[in-house]
Structure 1
């Protein structure tokens, strides 16, 4: 059984990009659906939907740029872990590549990006950073 589903999701996406796969299957959970919807909204992936073969998996269609198939995501990093939770006030949310990347937070208003959290003036647990 997987203890940290977010780390598992990020690792599967990272490995799929390294292997140049078109799609990747990840565990279907509420937090993973919210994170993948943020990835789609920010333009890092093409699409995602519940897998036809199993309703326990999400099928994520990865995005590549140009003819050389450059990955849409350069780096995925898990910030908070089950053993060491990292929390931040909205004023202290770390910028990623001077605003070019995205930090995903779990807040009292749901899973938000760093820009949305600053706009809503709400802090929370730093889940991952993406650029």
Structure 2
């Protein structure tokens, strides 16, 4: 699961850097949740689920993406407690955290007073 979201975000970032506004990503429910948040924050324009030769893919239309930083990689997991959420993390753009209640932004984690695994940040 972790490798699929990692690969999908890398594909989006590399497509945007090469001047393309469309990207083909592998399907997973976890990636759909992340894309829903990215769509809500207007980082991507839209995404579509397609079926090609009995394999499910996601086509993503990219809006704007300046930088992407992974905090937790498949080989290294970075967790944060609620009390350790500081001003620097809150002002780093969109930071996503996976918690026991789902995927939340770092601002939502501060409001709900819950910590979790930091996935990535997008500016």
Q: Is the 8 A contact 2:77 2:117 kept in 1?
A: yes
Q: 1:31-86: CA deviations, max 9, x gaps?
A: 111111111111111011202546521111111xxxxxxxx110111110122111
Q: Within 5 A, what are the aligned runs for 1:1-131? A: 4-51=3-50, 53=52, 56-63=56-63, 72-93=64-85, 95-96=88-89, 99=91, 101-131=93-123
Unaligned runs of 5+ in 1: 64-71
Residues 1:24 and 1:120: Cα distance change in structure 2 (over 3 Å)? same
Provide the TM-score with structure 1 as the length reference.
Answer: 0.83
Distance 1:105 1:113 in 2: 6
Task: Count residues in correspondence.
Answer: 121
Unaligned runs of 5+ in 2: none
- Secondary structure of 1:33's aligned partner: helix
- Secondary structure of 2:9's aligned partner: helix
Q: Is the 8 A contact 2:27 2:57 kept in 1?
A: yes
- Secondary structure of 2:40's aligned partner: helix
Q: 1:83-116: CA deviations, max 9, x gaps?
A: 21110012323534x6250110110010111111
CA RMSD of aligned residues (A): 2.0
